Amino acid sequence: MSSRSSPDPPDPALAGSLLGLALGDALGFAVEALDPPEAARYAAGLTAGPLDSSAIRARHPYRAGQYSDDTQQARELLRSIADCGQWQAAAFAARLAALFAAGHDVGAGPGTRGAALRLHAGVSLADAAAPADYAGNGAAMRAAPLGLLFGGERLLAVASEQARITHRHPACAAGAAAIALAARLLASADADPAAIPARVAAYVRPLDRDTASALLEVTALLPLEPGKASARLVRLGLDPLAPREYSGVTAHVLPSVCWALYAALRHADAWPRAVATAIAAGGDTDTTGAMAGAMVGARIGAAALPPAARAVHDRGSWGHDALLQLAAMLRPA
Ligand SMILES: [Mg+2]
């Protein structure tokens, strides 16, 4: 890939992945960590009619359409690549540190926050990441657009390196690579969604065998209705720290990546249904919504996203048009 300053329109898949991520994040952020039945009621409303800005619930103290750290991190990742004309770990780390040091992050988890603040305090790039026993989804939530900029071994390397800045656990790098490759495969017209879990599992196996095994389970989830699929996902016990009482998909990288992939592949050509499915299970809904929204957004392209995509923002700035302009600065190889 390369960066550029020309006013050409953005690549539709790249723009779709970024805006789809932002809208899925903004929709899910409204019900993050609420009881799953409440998330399910809200999600049902997202497919009841045209998905315009009136469908987005506000979350105090923010205006409706506010996206959270998932999109903020994806945005800063892409800005770092646009700045440098290529992937550079130090450039992304600097942007991440600045975002958190300024207190501008919205709803971030402890892994990314801790790493970003350590980077800001001068801890080296190699040492700032969260400890290896923490496997949150912070690196996967921001990774989808990378799949539209890089391919093959280069994508695997960039997805891993950006993950390693904040998360040391190998599942975090593998989860990020899985989401990025799935976005890439979904954007290619000839990809069969049902074949994607096996392809993604094989791709990330060198990074983490447990992640590969979990991704293979998504093939078996796909024919199941969401209620049965989420129950089966819980029984897999992918998050060792999950509460005994089900309260939604946790922020552990494995269940959240698998659930987002299930939702995206089950409704690969129907963005509102994919994101509603991701959110309806409850839990870490901003991130499952963001990941599913980014993957399906890559497939359908920015112009086919619901009208609500015009309403996303970060405290009144970095909205729809600015995100499109950012995507236009980047050109897939
Ligand atoms: Mg978030």
| CA–centroid distance for 200 within its chain | 16
- Can you name the residues that pair with 283 across neighbouring β-strands? 249
Residue 251 Cα to ligand 1 midpoint, Å, equals 10
Question: How many Å lie between the centroid of ligand 1 and the Cα of residue 7?
Answer: 31
pLDDT at site 227: 95
How far apart CA 58 and CA 26 sit, in angstroms, is: 9
Q: Please give the Cα distance from 18 to 12 (Å, whole number).
A: 10
Q: Ligand 1 centre and the CA of 143: distance in Å? A: 13
| Of 242, 283, 301, 290, nearest in space to 263 by CA | 290
- pLDDT for the residue 123: 97
pLDDT, position 332: 85
CB proximity list for 22: less than 8 A, separation 6 or greater: 67, 71, 74, 290, 293, 309, 312, 323
Model pLDDT, residue 29: 97
* 24 CA from centroid of ligand 1 (Å): 10
Tens digit of pLDDT for each residue in 218-258?
999 999 999 999 999 998 989 988 988 889 999 999 999 99
- The predicted-structure confidence for 151-192, as pLDDT tens digits, reads as follows 999 999 999 999 999 999 999 999 999 999 999 999 997 889
| Averaged pLDDT, 78-101 | 98
Quote the pLDDT of residue 73. 98
**DSSP element (H, E) containing 320:** helix 320-328
The pLDDT score that the predictor gives to residue 82 is 97
Distance from residue 253's CA to the centre of ligand 1 (Å): 13
50 Cα–ligand 1 center, Å: 25
Instruction: Name the least confident of 60-74, 197-211, 237-251, 273-287.
Output: 237-251
- Token couple for 152: 């093959």
320 pLDDT more than 90: yes
**Is a pLDDT exceeding 80 seen at residue 268?**
yes
For residue 7, what pLDDT band results from cuts at 50, 70 and 90? low
Token digits for 108?
Answer: 């971030």
Q: Is the pLDDT of residue 204 over 80?
A: yes
Distance 15 CA to ligand 1 centre (A): 20
Span from the CA of 206 to the centroid of ligand 1 (angstroms) = 28
Q: Exposure of 316 by Cβ count < 10 A (0-12 exposed, 13-18 middle, 19+ buried)? A: exposed
Give residue 298 CA to ligand 1 midpoint distance, Å: 20
What's the CA-to-centroid distance between 190 and ligand 1, angstroms?
A: 32
What is the distance in A from the centroid of ligand 1 to the CA of 140? 11
Distance between Cα 32 and ligand 1 center (Å): 8
Rounded to the nearest angstrom, the distance between the alpha carbon of 149 and the centre of ligand 1 is 23
What proportion of the chain, given as a percentage, has pLDDT over 70? 98
* Residue 28 CA to ligand 1 centre (angstroms): 9
Distance in Å, CA 289 to ligand 1 centroid = 10
Per-residue model confidence as pLDDT tens digits over 21-55? 999 999 999 999 999 999 999 999 999 999 999 99
**CATH numbers and ranges of domains, the chain:** 10-331 (1.10.4080.10)
CA of 263 to the centre of ligand 1 (A): 18
Residue 2 has what pLDDT?
A: 55
Q: Residue 6 pLDDT > 60, yes or no?
A: no
The mean pLDDT value of the chain amounts to 95
Give the Å distance between the CA of 308 and the centre of ligand 1: 18
